[in-house]
Amino acid sequence: MYRTARRASGGAALLLAATLVLAACGPQSQGGDDSTEESTSEGESESGDLMIVPSVQIDIDGAEVPAAEAGEPVDPAGDGSAECAEGTAIAVAGAFTGPNAALGLNIQYGAQLAVDAFNEANAGCQVELKPFDTEGDPQKATQVAPQIVSDDAVIGLLGPAFSGETAATGDVFNQAGLLSLTASATNPDLTGNGWTNFFRGLANDAVQGPSVAKYMTETLGYTSVCVVADNSDYGIGLAEQITSGLGDAANADCAPEVKTGDKDFSAAVQIISGSEADAVFYSGYYAEAAPFVQGLRDGGVDLPFVSADGVNDPQFVSQAGSSSQGAILSCPCGPAPEDFAATYEDANGQAPGVYSTEGYDLATIMLTGIASGVSDRAGLIDYVKDYSGEGLARQYEWDDTGELTSALIWIYEVE
């Protein structure tokens, strides 16, 4: 008996391991045929064809702004004559591990492209990009921040990535006089702290929210919108801005809350399907938005689906499939130009995600500063303060508080 028991359980364990490992090898050979031959779903277009396509640029009133006629974006490579001290470095801080790692990595990869291009062109100035992982956790960030500050080689910081950790560590960088150039922290309050070192490389939620809200009511003509918010800092903040921007068009009876990490949205779908709304705005991230929009469509709700930068990620389309078709996604981030996207994909094995272009642009700004002869922290802050130039995503120029002077929002559509 004893021996059979052992054999049985040993066998079971083996089976477990075998199934899991085999499964990983299986689809590479079979998956291809399968999707082409057999996966015809609902007679709609296949998800493989769907893409997030930039459509228009809007201002704070929701009005369309003609595409920027501005010239060439600044090239991080410069003229190849930059000289700087050996060991000059810029830091990038954000979540590179943990559940929020995707956003941090997008920024890091974007910035790395700029740094690589710079280093390749400028033999006399090799800049290192030093990543500091905060896991997106404010307490962790308070331990990492002193580390960044005390690293004398670091003359500028790209980050922190999230609003929470930025709030927790802002004082550290401000007192150290270290440039803090964020590519993704969009909480409007951050620039109200009187920090002189903090600049935001994109529109904050106070711009995105009203812009998109006005775009929905004025341009798209919705009269009753269900605003669905997740419980993240970003989701709540944006939902507040959207709701107040929508005014009467925000459907007060239809504002279900969901949680990051939720997988099942039947209750929210039920609330929406029972309402008289004519559109749904989702304030949160793609990980929840994809199953959410799927749940909507499965539940027979065909209302237009609008969301913002947290959802504006290729993953959203690939996970939601045909349910994502027609979704309208805003983003303070600009579209990645095709050649940038190609280089990025070559280097990182994945398409640029949200904030990749910001990471690239902001790193480029710091690199041009270094190329122009800036060699210390104070100098870089001054350089950024007075900077004005074109990036991949937009025109960069900051006001006294550290916000962009002209912050426009891009509208994308899944088609």
Partner 1 sequence: MSTTTPATPPSLPPAGRTATKDRPHGGVGDRFRLWWDALARPTQWLVGVPFLLFMAAVPLLNIPVLTTQGTDFGGVMAQFGMIALIAIGLNVVVGQAGLLDLGYVGFYAIGAYTVAILTSPDSPWNQTGDGMWLSREWAWLAALPVAVAITAISGLILGSPTLRLRGDYLAIVTLGFGEIVRLLADNLDELTGGGQGLRGVAYPRAGVTEDLPSGVFSAGNASGAVNSGVWWYWVSLVFIVVTLLFVGNLERSRVGRAWVAIREDEDAAEIMGVPTFRFKLWAFIIGASIGGAAGALYAGQVQFVIPTNFNIINSVLFLCAVVLGGQGNKLGVILGAFIVVYVPNFFLGRQTLFGIPIDGDEIASYKYLFFGIALVVLMIFRPQGIIPARQKLLTYGRELYVAARRSAARAAGRAPGRTEAAATTSGKESS
Partner 2 sequence: MPALADALLTSATAGPLVHQSLIDFNIAGLGRNFWGLTVEGLTYGAIYALVAVGYTLVYGVLRLINFAHSEVFMLGMFGQYATLMLLGFSPSGNAYDKGILLTVLYLGIAMLGGMAVAGGAAVGLERVAYRPLRRRNAPSLVFLITAIGMSFVLQEFVHFVLPRLTGGTLGGVNAQQPIRLVQPEVQFSIFGAPVTNVTLVIIGSALVLAVAVDLFVNRSPFGRGIRAVAQDPVTATLMGVSRERVIMLTFLIGGILAGAAALLYTLRVPNGIIYSGGFVLGIKAFSAAVLGGIGNLRGALLGGLLLGVMENYGQVVFGTEWRDVVAFVLLIVVLMFRPTGILGESLGRARA
Q: Give the one entry of partner 2, partner 1, none that residue 256 binds, where binding means its C-beta sits below a cut-off of 5 to 8 angstroms depending on kind.
A: partner 2
CA distances to 133, 200, 308, 316 from 329, rounded to whole Å, are 29, 21, 5, 11
Closest distance to partner 2 from the beta carbon of 234 (Å): 17
Ordered alpha helix ranges (H), 181-259: 205-214, 233-246
Nearer to partner 2, 167 or 320 (CB): 320
Those residues with Cβ within 8 angstroms of residue 188's Cβ, 6 or more apart along the chain or in another chain: 204, 205, 206, 237
Q: Give the one entry of partner 1, partner 2, none that residue 138 binds, where binding means its C-beta sits below a cut-off of 5 to 8 angstroms depending on kind.
A: partner 1
Amino acid in the structure at residue 154 = V
Nearer to partner 1, 205 or 361 (CB): 205
Measure the CA–CA gap between 207 and 142, rounded to whole angstroms: 28
Three-state SS at 186: coil
Task: Please give the DSSP secondary-structure letter assigned to residue 219.
Answer: I
Which residues contribute to the site for partner 2 (CB under 8 A)? 1-2, 5-6, 8-9, 11-13, 15-16, 19-24, 26-27, 30-35, 38-42, 44, 46-47, 98-99, 101-102, 231, 256-259, 261, 263-264, 266-268, 270-271, 274, 287, 290-291, 294, 298-300, 317-324
Q: Give the one entry of partner 1, partner 2, none that residue 233 binds, where binding means its C-beta sits below a cut-off of 5 to 8 angstroms depending on kind.
A: partner 1
Q: Give the one entry of partner 1, partner 2, none that residue 237 binds, where binding means its C-beta sits below a cut-off of 5 to 8 angstroms depending on kind.
A: partner 1
Closest distance to partner 2 from the beta carbon of 144 (Å): 20
Tokens of 15: 């089976």
Closest distance to partner 1 from the beta carbon of 172 (Å): 4
Which residues are 397's β-sheet partners?
A: 388
Q: Give the one entry of partner 2, partner 1, none that residue 33 binds, where binding means its C-beta sits below a cut-off of 5 to 8 angstroms depending on kind.
A: partner 2
User: Cβ(71)–Cβ(136) under 8 Å?
Assistant: no
Nearer to partner 1, 176 or 254 (CB): 176
Nearer to partner 2, 56 or 236 (CB): 236
Nearer to partner 1, 224 or 232 (CB): 232
| Gyration radius of the chain over CA positions | 23
Q: Give the one entry of partner 1, partner 2, none that residue 12 binds, where binding means its C-beta sits below a cut-off of 5 to 8 angstroms depending on kind.
A: partner 2
Three-state SS at 217: helix
Q: Give the one entry of partner 1, partner 2, none that residue 13 binds, where binding means its C-beta sits below a cut-off of 5 to 8 angstroms depending on kind.
A: partner 2
Which residues contribute to the site for partner 1 (CB under 8 A)? 97, 132-133, 137-140, 142-147, 149-150, 164, 167-169, 171-172, 174-176, 187, 189, 230-233, 235-237, 259-260
How do 52-58 and 409-414 pair as beta strands?
A: antiparallel
Task: Please give the DSSP secondary-structure letter assigned to residue 375.
Answer: -
Those residues with Cβ within 8 angstroms of residue 33's Cβ, 6 or more apart along the chain or in another chain: none
Nearer to partner 1, 115 or 149 (CB): 149
Closest distance to partner 1 from the beta carbon of 189 (Å): 8
Alpha-carbon dihedral sign for residues 111, 114, 118, 120: positive
Measure the CA–CA gap between 211 and 155, rounded to whole angstroms: 35
